[in-house]
Amino acid sequence: MNSSNVWTRTKRKPGLYRYNPSGQYFARVRRGGKLYRRKLGTNDLAYAKRKLDDYKRDLDRTDHTKGNTSFAKVLDDYAATLKGAPSTLRDKKATILTIKTILGGCASQPLRNLAPSTFEAFLADRYGQLSASAYNSALALVRSALDLAVRDKIIVENPVAHLKYRKRETPVRITPTFEQFQEIVASVRGQPFNADAQEMMGLLGLGQAELSALGRSDVDLAAGRIFVKRRKTGVGFHIPIFPQARDLIEKLCQGKRHDERLFKLDDPRKALTSACNRLGYVPFTQRSLRRMFITRAIERGVDVTVIAQWQGHKDGGKLILDTYSHVNPVHSNRMAALMTTEEPANVVPMRRAL
């Protein structure tokens, strides 16, 4: 077919072209000295005209003075907006450096000149063989940086908006029994330089970041509660001083000033790992101890909404039910046993509505 017969320009509608072999309409619009092209995805003339008008309005929302802004500059601008925990910031900045290094010359080109396939190929080549978590983290960063470019009117739309996150495999979560936990505690205590933090993780169900930040002022022995601040979210909440942790809490508070930290070690990971090695256990992590606490609470009949409050969650227990589904049958069967024709001793009669 002659090239002159491939395209037909629509009369009285500048910028609208019909691709004759397929009948599909395309937009070709010039803004700020640059030619923009887009497939309109229809062979209906009236609908194509409306989509062309929408596309022109999108282009008018961009700032043509920023047409030469590079992707590298967008990444730098995005890096300046990052907030969060130091480890999170470090990981994101490392990813930004990786993107700029691997893309090389492409990163220094005007962002408007980069096709969606450029980003798609980069993510597939660099992160496609890695875990779903690594791929999703990289995609989330690129998507957020490009969202910033859209808000700054550098580009009309996010070129990776169509990409989907990969489904993460269900992780194998090893969890010690309470008896194994007690043996680990005894093993740690038997060492010259022991750490109380790993014991407190299992007794309070808190993570290393929250425990390391606890100070004497956060513990109210009279009220029987501890103030905890979630490191990731910055949200504060209270947990009870559980009977199983009371003696150790009182010991840690003895002789400490109001502004003094409860724990000397920031990270008791080494003590935990060494104890597992000595006892011949699998290498339980600090998160394993938190899982043990939550699992044990569920098995003892503590309501999941209460456990969620102890963890600083705002979802009413949904995350716990999803994560600890293997414990649900135990909890459900215990609750089912209460549904008898007789009145259980722990039931408080409620006044019936008139």
Which structure tokens are listed for 151? 């808000």
Identify any residues that bridge with 27 across adjacent strands, giving them in sequence order: 16, 38
Alpha helices in the chain (DSSP H): 45-60, 71-79, 86-103, 105-108, 116-127, 132-151, 178-189, 197-204, 208-213, 243-253, 269-279, 286-299, 304-310, 318-323, 328-336
CB 214 within 8 A of CB 230: no
Identify any residues that bridge with 188 across adjacent strands, giving them in sequence order: none
pLDDT 10s per residue in the chain (354 long)?
445 688 999 988 999 999 999 999 999 988 777 788 888 999 999 999 999 998 888 888 888 788 789 999 999 999 999 988 788 899 999 999 999 999 888 889 889 888 899 999 999 999 989 989 899 999 999 999 999 999 998 988 899 999 999 987 776 778 899 999 999 999 988 876 666 777 888 999 988 888 888 999 999 999 999 999 887 777 899 999 999 999 999 999 999 999 898 887 656 788 888 999 999 999 998 889 999 999 899 888 888 899 999 998 888 888 888 888 766 666 677 777 778 887 766 666 666 655
Who contacts 257 (Cβ-Cβ below 8 Å, separation ≥6)? 216
Who contacts 43 (Cβ-Cβ below 8 Å, separation ≥6)? 22, 23, 24, 25
Torsion angles phi and psi, residue 142, rounded to 5: -60, -45
Per-residue pLDDT, 165: 93
